[in-house]
């Protein structure tokens, strides 16, 4: 257990909980550095295949800790991997699921957008309200949101700073599933179980190819060279999957 976060290992799953509930899990540089280390270790650990990120108490994350900043708190030392150690982490091939309980505002929404899936409780809400306080969503929000829901829908949020419900987020396309209040983590665990049933190297190759392929046209994407795909075809799992299917048994993935 860290000073600003909690971690729980459950087999190949890592559950990370933002743990500053007194400020709706708003983050300051020390918390961001701690989370950067958590995700560094997740990326490097061969026994961890999927992560879930959630928040303690009644909110996911209220964004940057403006009170810390306004009171003269030291804002130096932000990690290179960005807000929560995720928003500028572009080389993570393992899946991360956001289990959004309550508010995900500003940087909190940007953290969720940096995850691969968003599972939201029915009372969750999302916004990039930075323009309302003279700022801008520069931890990826202004770039990820248009890519995920289209330019016009994104501008409807970016230019107004308006708050969007979980149900509207599902309609817009940045939320994968809405679950009853209090069940965001349980819903995220269910999605994690489905991912964990798949070959981990196949999952990583799929994630890397999908994201890198968005950087160019379709022809370029389909003919591209992906490190995780090369790793997959040389792995034991590349043989194990078809063999298990032919033998009508569950596969035994080794991720190597």
pTM of the model as a whole: 0.96
pLDDT in tens, 151-199: 999 999 999 999 999 999 999 999 999 999 999 999 999 999 999 999 9
Q: Which residues of the chain have pLDDT under 50?
A: none
**Cα–Cα distance measured from residue 81 to residue 90, given in angstroms and rounded to the nearest whole number:** 8
How, if at all, do strands 103-105 and 125-127 pair?
A: parallel
Q: Give per-residue pLDDT as tens, 53-65.
A: 999 999 999 999 8
Task: Please state which CATH number belongs to domain 5-196.
Answer: 3.90.226.10
- Give the pLDDT score at 12: 98
CATH for 200-246?
Answer: 1.10.12
Q: Which of 211, 180, 199, 186 is nearest to 251 (CA)?
A: 199
Contact by Cβ (8 Å): 6, 17: yes
CA 203 to chain centre: 15
Residue span(s) of the chain under CATH 1.10.12 come to 200-246
Tell the burial category of 40 from Cβ atoms under 10 Å away from its Cβ (0-12, 13-18, 19+): middle
pLDDT at 77: 78
What residue ranges of the chain are covered by domains with CATH 3.90.226.10? 5-196
How crowded is residue 162: how many other Cβ atoms within 10 Å of its Cβ? Answer: 14
pLDDT, position 70: 66
The string of pLDDT tens digits covering residues 138-151 is 999 999 999 999 99
Closest residue by Cα to residue 63 from 36, 98, 32: 32
Contact 200, 228 (CB under 8 A): no
Catalytic positions, written as ranges: 110, 130
């Amino acid at each position: 257990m860290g000073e600003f976060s909690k971690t729980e290992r459950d087999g190949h799953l890592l559950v990370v909980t933002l743990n500053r509930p007194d400020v709706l899990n708003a983050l300051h540089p020390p918390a961001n550095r701690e989370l950067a280390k958590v995700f560094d270790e997740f990326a490097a650990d061969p026994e961890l295949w999927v992560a879930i990120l959630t928040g303690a108490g009644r909110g996911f994350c209220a964004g940057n800790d403006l009170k810390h900043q306004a009171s003269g708190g030291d804002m130096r030392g932000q990690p290179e991997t960005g807000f929560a150690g995720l928003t500028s982490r572009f080389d993570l091939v393992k899946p991360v699921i956001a289990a959004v309980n309550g508010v995900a505002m500003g940087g909190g929404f940007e953290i969720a957008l940096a995850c691969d899936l968003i599972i939201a409780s029915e009372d969750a809400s999302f916004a990039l309200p930075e323009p309302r306080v003279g700022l801008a969503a520069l931890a990826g929000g202004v770039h990820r949101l248009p890519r995920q829901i289209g330019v016009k829908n994104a501008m409807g949020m970016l230019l107004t700073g308006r708050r969007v419900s979980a149900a509207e987020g599902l309609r817009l396309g940045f939320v994968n599933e809405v679950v009853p209040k209090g069940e965001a983590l349980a819903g995220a665990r269910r999605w994690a179980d489905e991912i964990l049933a798949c070959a981990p190297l196949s999952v990583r190759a799929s994630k890397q190819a999908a994201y890198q392929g968005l950087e160019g046209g379709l022809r370029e994407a389909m003919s591209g060279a992906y490190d995780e795909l090369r790793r997959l075809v040389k792995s034991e799992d590349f043989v194990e999957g078809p063999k298990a299917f032919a033998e009508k048994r569950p596969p035994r993935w080794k991720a190597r």
